[in-house]
Amino acid sequence: MNADLPVRGLDTLQRGHVRHFDNLSRLPPNDWSLMGGRSIGQDDFGAYRFQLAYMAYAVALTYIHRMPAAPGLFKPLFRRLFDKLLLPEVWMYWRDVSRGGSIFNRHLTARYQEEWDPVRRDNIMYSAYVQSLALLYSYLFDDDALSSPGAITFKHWSYFWGGEPKAFAYDEHSLNDHLYWLMVESGYLGVPCEPNCIFQICNQPALLGFRLHDLRYGGNRAQEVTDAYEAAWRQFGRIGDNGHYHVMLAADTLTVRPNLSRSPWVDAWCGALMNMWNRDFVRDNYPRQIAELVKPGMHGTLSVHPPQRPEVMGERIVSDDCDFGWVAAWAAEMGDEETLQGLLGHADRFMRPTWSRGGLYYPRNDQAEDGFGNRTLVEPHTGNVLLGYARLNVRDGLWHLYNDKLDAAFHTRPALTEVGVDVELHAAWFHCSALRFRMSLRGQRDDEVVVGRLNGRGAWVLVCDGRVMARGSGYTVQSSDSPYVVAGEAGISIRCPSTGVHEFELCFS
């Protein structure tokens, strides 16, 4: 995708994170094993919607920056995550949250009625992820499956309560247009999350969605919106007097809520996303902000200063802020390798890295510190997603996704168009008239990959570990010394040898 970004494969830990995403994506509908956080109702920052969305973003970034010749691995994984995002368990919180009643909007409760449609008004903390991920799927995989009317439909029915079946039909175009007009109606200040609460953070994914629609279908809506958005916020400033990003803006009074507690998640989440389109501003403020957020530990590790949880209406707030995970994700996007490795080193030492079914994650731990003062708190969003996202991303990964259009041949170069579930893919890229990939097997079962997009490419030679394995042209195998290579309608199937890691090259004359 980018000439200045070297194509890299995945190391053991990175493959473990991708496999964990894959494992979670394959759980049956409404099986949310390992994903439940401390708060109730899917209201907070570690909710299912955020875990699913940032797994999908991590998959996209890994695909284009590290393994661009492996759509057969990443496309079905991305689609499974997107489909889970549409499940009622993910968005039904909005039926209650839409009525208001919090400290930020209880004076306006007469204005708000119960809303079932999760994207019709407000709720940009959900709708922008559906919008941007639908367009990301279309853009990255050249697939129009989500573009036809009703392709994105939110459905709910229970025979115990709620009355008639509910169905709210959209597609990638109508949802993108809908969010655009909500943005315009706000005066480009942004769409609220909860009623009356315009968070800077949650409007960033919508800007990505506008840009992806432009990249896929043409137009310049993203530039229009970001220019107007910057102008609308100029009167408030992005950052408060204490040097930290503002949390939100009250839509009725235009009162800014600054980040008085210096909560790390606010700076890190906002900075990691805003880097897409406002990179110079984010980078100018990053060194000072990150210095306030992290603290040194033993053996070169780094941790994150945990702010005191506030009390509201006499109750101590319990929520999954995911400070540690977001600071790691921000450091990765900034290319701050020293901070990133320090944080990952702390996680590997104190947060119980766990392998299950070939996947790597950090299990939930509600204990804030161990007996020596080392941070041990792990929220599911941090342990399932954000630490993997940080390890998989590259410097300016989101910036390149936003700014660098895929080249014309991205969707037509020879690639691994199918990857068996038991194949461990280490690398896959196309360079200098050759498809190169490295793979092994997870277990003892045979499995294979399919090389597609070969028609019109002419004669090829398949080499495995330096030895010629087969010769052919297009989807035809003309000669082969191995039963592991078979021609098919979808491409050339290559079975992975049962032991070890193997290097393959499909070279074109």
How many domains does the chain contain in total?
A: 3
Percent residues over pLDDT 70 in the chain: 99
272 with 407, same domain: the answer is yes
Could you tell me the residue range of the domain that residue 169 belongs to?
86-260
Nearest of 138, 280, 151 to residue 215 by alpha carbon? 138
CA 209 – CA 186 distance, rounded (Å): 18
425 with 392, same domain: the answer is no
CB of 195 closer than 8 Å to CB of 112: yes
304 with 244, same domain: the answer is no
Q: Is the pLDDT of residue 56 over 60?
A: yes
What would the pLDDT profile of 346-382 be if each residue is shown by its tens digit?
Answer: 999 999 999 999 999 999 999 999 999 999 999 999 9
| Opening angle at CA 321, ends 317 and 327, nearest 5 | 150
199 with 306, same domain: the answer is no
Q: Is the pLDDT of residue 3 over 60?
A: no
200 with 299, same domain: the answer is no
The band of 7, judged by pLDDT with boundaries at 50, 70 and 90, is low
CA 258 – CA 256 distance, rounded (Å): 6
Strand locations in 175-331, DSSP E? Answer: 197-199, 248-250, 256-257, 294-296, 302-304, 311-312, 315-316
Cα distances (Å, whole numbers) of residue 77 to 31, 33, 56, 399, 424: 17, 17, 8, 23, 14
Which residue bears the tokens 């947060």? 351
What would the pLDDT profile of 264-301 be if each residue is shown by its tens digit?
Answer: 999 999 999 999 999 999 999 999 999 999 999 988 99
Identify the pLDDT of residue 45.
Answer: 94
Q: Is the pLDDT of residue 8 over 90?
A: no
Nearest of 237, 363, 372 to residue 301 by alpha carbon? 372
The alpha carbon of residue 307 and the mean position of all alpha carbons in its chain are separated, in whole angstroms, by: 26
147 with 220, same domain: the answer is yes
Which residue bears the tokens 């390798």? 337
Q: Quick one: DSSP state of residue 384? A: I
Of the three residues 411, 445, 460, the one that is the final residue of a domain is 411
Of the three residues 411, 431, 450, the one that is the final residue of a domain is 411
Backbone angles phi, psi at 472, to 5 degrees: -175, -170
Lateral strand order in the sheet of 476-480:
423-431, 434-441, 502-508, 459-464, 467-473, 476-480
Identify the pLDDT of residue 103.
Answer: 84
300 with 394, same domain: the answer is yes
CA 331 – CA 319 distance, rounded (Å): 23
79 with 91, same domain: the answer is no
Q: Is the pLDDT of residue 306 over 90?
A: no
116 with 242, same domain: the answer is yes
- Average pLDDT (300-323) is 84
CB of 158 closer than 8 Å to CB of 178: no
Which residues face 438 on adjacent strands?
427, 503
293 with 390, same domain: the answer is yes
Query: Per the structure block, which two tokens stand in for 125?
Result: 């903390």
Percent residues over pLDDT 90 in the chain: 88
Q: Is the pLDDT of residue 497 over 90?
A: no
Of the three residues 411, 438, 468, the one that is the final residue of a domain is 411
301 with 448, same domain: the answer is no
Q: What is the CATH number of the domain that holds 499?
A: 2.60.40
SS3 255: coil
Question: Please, what is the end-to-end C-alpha distance for the chain in angstroms?
Answer: 24
448 with 405, same domain: the answer is no
Average pLDDT, the chain: 95
Which residue bears the tokens 């279309």? 138
